[in-house]
Amino acid sequence: MAVAIPDSYRDLFTKRAFVYLSTVMPDGSPQVTPVWCDLDGNHIRINTAKGRVKDRNMRRNRKVALTVADPDNPYRYLAVRGEVAEITEQGADAHIDLLAKKYLGQEKYPYRKPGEVRVIYKIRPEKISTMG
Amino acid sequence: MAVAIPDSYRDLFTKRAFVYLSTVMPDGSPQVTPVWCDLDGNHIRINTAKGRVKDRNMRRNRKVALTVADPDNPYRYLAVRGEVAEITEQGADAHIDLLAKKYLGQEKYPYRKPGEVRVIYKIRPEKISTMG
C-alpha cells in the first residue's frame, strides 16, 4: 500500500539532495549508490542508464529503499521503503536534462554517452520514516 | 574475499561523513539509513542499539552495502558491498562516545536511553567502487 510523503519533507526534493538508493543484487545482497531525484506527485523519480547494476537490479526485483537527507542538516531526513511502480524510457532524456538543471544549473545533461539509453524509475513509497 | 579501502579515500572516515547503510529485511527487501562510522584497520565500524531494525537485519543476514560521500563534495564517494565480520557489545559504549566526539564534538554520546545496549558492527569490504 502506498503511503504519502509528508508535506513537511517535500522540500527535500527541491534542494540538491541526493537519494541514497538501495537495490537488491541477484544473490540477495544489497547495493547502495547516490542518485539525483525529483518528485512526480507521490512518486520519487530517479533516472539511470539502461544496463547499469541498479537498472538490472530494479528490473529483476522491484523492492528498493532510499534515504534523502537535507543538505543543510544531515540529521533531517526521509527514509523510504517501497517498490518501483514504473520503468519507462519515455521522457527519460528530457527528465535527465531537468535533473541536470536542478543539480548542476545546466540546461543539458553534460555526461551523456553515445548509445546510452536513459530510463526513469518511479518509486512508490510503502513505508516512510522521518528524522529531524 | 576482503578488498582494501583505497588510501586515497580513507580521509572520508576522518570527516563528519555519514555512512548510508543498507541491510536486508526479513522479506528480502532492502532498508537504508544514515549512520555514524569510523575505520578499524580495513573494517568499517558502525554502532547502533540492540533491537533496532538494522541490528535485527544484520544478525539475520550479514550482507550489507554502504556509501560514504565526502561532505565537501557529494560527487566524491566510496561505495562498498560487504559482510558484517563481527558483532560485539565489547567496547561499544566507549565507541559511541568516540563517535559523538567525532560527529558532535562532545565527550559523551548525549542520546543514550535507559537500558539501551550499544553494539559495534565491523563490516568487511568485499567489493568497492569509487567516484570522484
Predicted confidence at residue B43, as pLDDT, reads 98
B89-118: per-residue pLDDT in tens? 999 999 999 999 999 999 999 999 999 999
- Which residues have C-beta within 8 Å of that of residue B64, sequence separation ≥ 6? A29, A30, B21, B22, B23, B24, B58, B81, B82, B83, B84, B123
The residue segments making up the domain with residue A80 are 7-131
- B79: cell is 561505495
Q: Is there a domain that residue A2 lies in?
A: no
Q: What is the pTM of this model?
A: 0.96
For residue B75, the tally of other CB atoms under 10 A from its CB is: 11
For residue B96, the tally of other CB atoms under 10 A from its CB is: 22
**Mean pLDDT score of chain A, rounded to an integer?**
97
B59-82: per-residue pLDDT in tens? 999 999 999 999 999 999 999 999
- Which residues have C-beta within 8 Å of that of residue A111, sequence separation ≥ 6? none
Q: Which segments within chain A are labelled E, that is strand?
A: 19-24, 30-35, 38-40, 43-49, 63-70, 73-88, 118-131
Compute the distance between CA of residue B119 and CA of residue B116 in angstroms, rounded to an integer.
10
Q: What does DSSP say about strands B30-35 and B38-40: parallel, antiparallel, or unpaired?
A: unpaired
Contact B34 A81 (CB under 8 A): no
Q: Is there a domain that residue B75 lies in?
A: yes
Predicted confidence at residue A66, as pLDDT, reads 98
Contact B63 A22 (CB under 8 A): no
Percent of chain B with pLDDT over 70: 100
Q: Which of residues 54-93 of A touch B (CB under 8 A)?
A: 61, 63-67, 69, 74, 77, 79, 81
Predicted confidence at residue B77, as pLDDT, reads 97
Predicted confidence at residue B1, as pLDDT, reads 82
B95, B117 contact by CB (below 8 A): no
Nearest CA to CA, how far is B66 from chain A (Å)?
6
A20-54: per-residue pLDDT in tens? 999 999 999 999 999 999 999 999 999 999 999 99
Contact A31 B77 (CB under 8 A): no
Predicted confidence at residue A1, as pLDDT, reads 82
A54, A60 contact by CB (below 8 A): no
Q: Is there a domain that residue B2 lies in?
A: no
Q: What does DSSP say about strands A43-49 and A63-70: parallel, antiparallel, or unpaired?
A: unpaired
Binned at pLDDT 50, 70 and 90, residue A5 comes out as very high
Q: Is there a domain that residue B96 lies in?
A: yes
Contacting residues of A for B79, CB less than 8 Å apart: 31-33
Contacting residues of A for B30, CB less than 8 Å apart: 22-24, 30, 32, 63-65, 81
- A125: cell is 513509497
Q: Is there a domain that residue A118 lies in?
A: yes
Q: Is there a domain that residue B47 lies in?
A: yes
Number of domains, chain B: 1
Q: With an 8 Å Cβ cutoff, is B24 touching chain A?
A: yes
| Prediction ipTM score | 0.95
CATH code of A54's domain: 2.30.110.10
Q: Is there a domain that residue A1 lies in?
A: no
Predicted confidence at residue B69, as pLDDT, reads 95
Q: Is there a domain that residue A106 lies in?
A: yes
